[in-house]
Structure 1
Amino acid sequence: MNKKKGILRNAAEGYFAAFALANIGQIAAVDIISLVLFLMCFQLFLFAERKETESALSADGKKLVKGYSSRNRRVASVILGILFAFFYLAAEHGSLTGALENRLFQMIYLLMTGAGLFFLFYRGCRLLLLYLERRSLRISSIPVSTDSPEPALSLQTKLFLFLLLIACWLPWFLYDFPGVMTPDSLSQYSQAMGLTGYSNHHPFVHTLLIRLFVSLGNAVFHNVYAGIACYTVFQMIAMAVIVVSCISVLIRRRAGKKLCFCFLLFYALVPYNGIFAVTMWKDILFSGVLLLFVLCIYRFLPIYREGRPLYQKPLLYLSFLLWGILACLMRSNGLYVVAATAPFLIYAFRKQWKLILPSLLVILGCAVLIKGPVMDSLGVAKPAFSESLSIPAQQIARVVAEGRALTEDQISLIGKTMDYPSIPDYYQPELSDPVKALIQYGHPEYLETHKGEYLKLWVQLGLKYPLDYWNAFVDQTKGYWFPGAPGMLTNEGISPNELGLSWQPVLHGQGVAKIVEIISKLYTIFPLYGLLYSIGAFTWAAVFLFTNCLLNGKKENWILFIPFFAVVLTLCIATPVASDVRYLYSLIFAMPLLIHAGLEVKGK
């Protein structure tokens, strides 16, 4: 009887899952493929349930004492299933109501699709967590000799890996020579060369780095393009050194040569890593610096576990302070990322809180001091207040663009900062720059001096039109928490500008351009490979790896995920673009570390 109930339950779950897949794939209900989808889902769920049953029984059919792990796995899978299904529905609900027009039927259609997505994610996560639990038990049962030396990369191997990365990135450097410069890059270049005043809209510390290497190149080669190339070469070298440092740490932590080789291939061959290495953006070095900061935390963990003071490794401790300060300074949200991570760090290292707390205060204090009094004394302008209002500005603009009823006072208040009639024309659901431009070219000074009034307006409109606010938030942020195609990816050469700079490719010609075009479009052709270009897929992977770390892995590694979750949250609060790879490149760049951290087995 229980077996029949199980089959019926799996059949029902399989039907909902097939319904969801057919809806997402826009497969007609009369299409024979819908039957194939049902049979596949049904068999998958039966297989998953059979594996669960086998894991709970020993060879002689007796129950093993695994109730606690099985219950935790089930609860974790339910949470992940709900979370991932919610993300999917939130991002794609507009295209998942079929051809139905009745609101009630649309809601039923969405609920059935949501149920199917939940069963797919729940069953998939539970099966994968079960496999990883078995892997953890198998690996932990293998004795490790305490006499065996810690694996390490030789200096020659590190140099080889470094040169290999540079060699793989070199074609992108020659093709984009002297480096990729977008409008953001050109703005920083103008500041670095003294053509415009300094501003911390783009991190001042990064602008100074540009000034240092471009000036050095100009002094040596007496050529502006050679100067830009000097900065590009510096960034390539810095990112290659960081990659080698990461792989070296993973080797020492017994990640395995095969896995590390896969990580190396990711860094060396996935095109955007090479293109970003030669792109003059603050996001690139920030990603490297944040990875170094997290690597310091990772190296602290065994020291803390053994009960030794962290300052016993003075060079590591000083590196932690240095990379923490630079992480705060290399991106506008860096300070908030480190500040949000700080309470979790204090908890993770609570037995040594008397050292960790002052250390974090030093990091945050230095960052605040530099971004405040130091930059003020150097005449560095602060970013415009409106730059931090991407989400609120988009939400208010959405209400106006939808033609909702506003009072005369509300219309008047909005009109005091921007041209009210122009808002519907300027509003773009996935890009806040046009609306912020309306403010910048309007009266931003009024906004600066009447923040309270605008906060009240934002709350009033949100309470009256919550669905518009929700839709505006989803459209503005979904690229970072939903696995879709990237809205913005990479650039080529030097963008058109008024500075007299132009693209000077060393590798050029129709053949080269065609090869670059093909390489750049491969992710749109091949499934699975395309996921490497999906920002939200990396977020989902980090959430799953974090869950496995708590269930089956080395639980202390949970702290390594927090800074990257903080990056995602800060983007959801203030991102200007819904789906730009560079804004979450820090998570993508650190994914090899997080994969190992999430899969690392306790006791190994």
Structure 2
Amino acid sequence: MKHRRGLNLKETICGGGEKAVAMDAAFSVIMSFIAVFNKNAIVDHLFFNRYDVPRYAFLFLLYMALFFIATRIIAMCFLHEAKKDVVSNERKSPHFMAALAMFAAWIPYLLGFLPGVANYDTVNQVNDFFDGVSPVPFGFVKGQETVNVFLNAHHPIVPTFIFSFFVAAGALLGSETLGFLLYILCQMLLGAFLISEILCFLHENAADSRSRLIIKSVRVFFMFMPFVPMYMICMLKNTMHSLLFILYIFVLYRYYLGKDDKPAKSWIVFFIIVLLLCTTLNTGVFVTLFTGIASLFIRKKDSRILLISVLCAVIWFIVFPKLLYPALNVFPGGKQELYGTLFHQTARLIRDNEEEFTKEDKQIIDAVLDYEKIKENFSFDATDPVKDTFRLHSTDEDMRKYLGLWLRMGIKHPIVYLRATFSICGNFFAPGAGIQIFGDIPQSEGMFGKIHAITPRVFGDKAFSLYYNVTITPFIRLIFQTVIYAFWIPVYLLYVLVIRKKMLGTYESRPEMIILVPLFVSALFLIVSPMNYSRYALCLIFASPIAIALLCTENKKS
């Protein structure tokens, strides 16, 4: 028995040949470097002294060993093929009951926070809709210049209309809180049926018991991981977008697997899905564009995927701002959202090396940002305090001069720019930060102020506190780490299922691997995230477990 265990351990660590071991070791070194780099950026802002070097060297070696062990275990799991079922007598999963069970598993969270939860972005969206044509700060921050419009597209207007529709329906029924609750129930039902339907499809088509075990594990994850239902009971644009995101990758998966002749069985339905993905979150258009481009380089080439992505991009970048916004009296989202990371890098350089700026440089910055305020308001943890000082009436010439200055200073001080960026986004790429949730309905004025908690606040507060105590509990905290879902799962899927197999000569073309493209595009956008908050990675938190179920299971041959 001991001899057999020794052989198994030796096979796990050294099996698969020297090339495989060397590749896994190299991969572990890269992953360890990324983790330590981001850890240092978060804690020490890429500063090192003689006391830090031994600490980070030890951390690097520890991560490298852990990554290597994890990589070898995962690789060995896929090296040995699971025994295929000769005849499958399993009955088809009762789809409706499976979805209802998932919905029921989320109900206790709703009851604890009845009628649900929200964040301040949602408050601003709904209030902006109901206050009609009136002055609002262009970035929804007090003290900013105001714009006298019907809506401010600082937040995408499609979720704004949907949220406001439900609140208005509740008002007609005599209670805005009821309208809020109706939205949450609809979101929970749609989410439960979507996720459950994907898993039922995979379970019915699974060719072996290992695949079915993976699918059942993913189902348990969505039913019982606390942050999933907490976001499902949240009126939030990121939750809406994340459900569309997993629908998008599932539609692509079925199409490239050969299950459907057309994505979503209809090019029109696929167009609607892509358009909604683009219009519910600003990053959606880039996700679909890069996925469309990737579709030209796989075995099942289909330019129509790219054509639909480009068409939706034209609608988002041209039709919305040039036609729809003027017609509805909507103020387009400001440039500060696009350039937020750049502004933050400039502010960090002013903080660290203000003597590097000439009087003319300061004037160039002051034409775009309030120079004195960014010195006072600078924060290591978010770009908002800097970009909120954006001068609304700065000209294109002002921006051109600023971008030239930003580039020149970046060439001279690249490390400062890295400090500014990775001190914010580092928690998406290194262990340390647990997945944050929202735990109440923010108090506000306006229409949203009429929405009130039904369950006594004390229950929600205790549940909220319990959640955070769990996320810091030793060992248990590991499965609550944002980095697992935002970065590690997509990277491991790419390495183990694609890169490693290609290098070893065992890769068989799998067009459905295209679903990794949306995941990596979303992960790259986390680098320019305005702050370290889990909702910015929510589409990955939802999609990464789904991707495991899609790509790590064997399907029955059609």
Q: Are 2:408 and 1:408 aligned?
A: no
Q: How does 1:90-489 map to 2 (within 5 A)?
A: 90-93=37-40, 103=49, 105=50, 109=54, 112-113=57-58, 116-117=61-62, 119-121=64-66, 123-135=68-80, 138-139=81-82, 142-145=83-86, 153-154=92-93, 157-195=94-132, 197-219=150-172, 221-254=173-206, 256-303=211-258, 310-311=261-262, 315=265, 317-348=267-298, 350-368=299-317, 370-372=319-321, 373-405=323-355, 406-439=357-390, 443-446=391-394, 448-486=396-434, 489=436
How far residue 404 of structure 1 moved from its aligned partner, in angstroms, is 3.3
1: CA distance, partners of 2:125 / 2:160 = 6
1: CA distance, partners of 2:194 / 2:39 = 37
Q: How does 1:524-603 map to 2 (within 5 A)?
A: 524-527=472-475, 529-538=476-485, 539-550=487-498, 551=500, 556=510, 557-572=512-527, 574-577=528-531, 579-601=532-554
Q: State which drifts further: 548-557 or 391-400.
A: 548-557
8 A contact 1:162–1:244 mirrored in 2: yes
Structure with bigger gyration radius: 1
8 A contact 1:496–1:502 mirrored in 2: no
8 A contact 1:96–1:110 mirrored in 2: no
Alignment size in residue pairs: 520
* Alpha-carbon spacing, 1:394–1:357, altered in 2? closer, same or farther (3 Å): closer
Deviations 1:39-82 (A, max 9, x none): xxxxxxx99983268746xxxxxxxxxx5xx52x3354244223
2: CA distance, partners of 1:422 / 1:191 = 26
Q: Where does residue 143 of structure 2 map in the other structure?
A: none
8 A contact 1:390–1:432 mirrored in 2: yes
* Alpha-carbon spacing, 1:371–1:47, altered in 2? closer, same or farther (3 Å): farther
How far residue 274 of structure 1 moved from its aligned partner, in angstroms, is 1.4
How far residue 431 of structure 1 moved from its aligned partner, in angstroms, is 0.6
8 A contact 1:177–1:493 mirrored in 2: no
Deviations 1:506-537 (A, max 9, x none): 3326466434422342111141x323322212
Q: Where does residue 59 of structure 1 map in the other structure?
A: none
Secondary structure at 1:404 match in 2: helix
2: CA distance, partners of 1:47 / 1:543 = 29
Q: Which one-letter code corresponds to 2:330 in the other structure?
A: V
Gaps of 5+ in 2: 1-5, 135-149, 502-506
Secondary structure at 2:177 match in 1: helix
How far residue 289 of structure 1 moved from its aligned partner, in angstroms, is 0.3
Q: 2:28 aligns with which of 58, 70, 81?
A: 81
2: CA distance, partners of 1:266 / 1:50 = 32
8 A contact 1:77–1:125 mirrored in 2: no
Deviations 1:294-336 (A, max 9, x none): 00111012218xxxx833x772544432222211111011111
1: CA distance, partners of 2:48 / 2:200 = 59
8 A contact 2:211–2:552 mirrored in 1: no
8 A contact 1:48–1:123 mirrored in 2: no
Q: State which drifts further: 592-601 or 185-194.
A: 592-601
2: CA distance, partners of 1:102 / 1:247 = 47
8 A contact 2:14–2:21 mirrored in 1: no
* Alpha-carbon spacing, 1:244–1:215, altered in 2? closer, same or farther (3 Å): same
TM-score (norm 2): 0.84
2: CA distance, partners of 1:176 / 1:329 = 29
* Alpha-carbon spacing, 1:451–1:216, altered in 2? closer, same or farther (3 Å): same
Instruction: Please report the RMSD computed on the Cα atoms of aligned residues, expressed in angstroms.
Output: 3.1
* Alpha-carbon spacing, 1:109–1:520, altered in 2? closer, same or farther (3 Å): closer
Deviations 1:255-307 (A, max 9, x none): 74443332222222222211211211110010000110100111012218xxx
How far residue 463 of structure 1 moved from its aligned partner, in angstroms, is 1.7
Gaps of 5+ in 1: 1-45, 57-66
8 A contact 2:34–2:429 mirrored in 1: yes
Deviations 1:336-373 (A, max 9, x none): 1111222112222x544344343434443444455333
Q: Which one-letter code corresponds to 1:435 in the other structure?
A: V
Q: Are 2:11 and 1:51 aligned?
A: yes
Q: How does 1:489-528 map to 2 (within 5 A)?
A: 489-499=436-446, 501=449, 504-508=452-456, 510=458, 513-527=461-475
2: CA distance, partners of 1:367 / 1:245 = 30
* Alpha-carbon spacing, 1:302–1:119, altered in 2? closer, same or farther (3 Å): closer
1: CA distance, partners of 2:127 / 2:30 = 45
1: CA distance, partners of 2:103 / 2:71 = 41
Identity of aligned residues (%): 18
Secondary structure at 2:330 match in 1: coil
1: CA distance, partners of 2:283 / 2:308 = 20
1: CA distance, partners of 2:395 / 2:482 = 33
How far residue 202 of structure 1 moved from its aligned partner, in angstroms, is 1.3
2: CA distance, partners of 1:393 / 1:76 = 39
* Alpha-carbon spacing, 1:332–1:153, altered in 2? closer, same or farther (3 Å): farther
* Alpha-carbon spacing, 1:366–1:315, altered in 2? closer, same or farther (3 Å): farther
Deviations 1:118-149 (A, max 9, x none): 641563244224422433xx32xx3555x868
Q: Where does residue 33 of structure 1 map in the other structure?
A: none
Q: State which drifts further: 166-175 or 462-471.
A: 166-175
Q: Which runs of 4+ in 1 moved over 6 A?
A: 46-49, 94-97
Q: State which drifts further: 113-122 or 170-179.
A: 113-122
Secondary structure at 2:333 match in 1: coil
How far residue 191 of structure 1 moved from its aligned partner, in angstroms, is 2.9
Secondary structure at 2:389 match in 1: helix
8 A contact 1:554–1:602 mirrored in 2: no
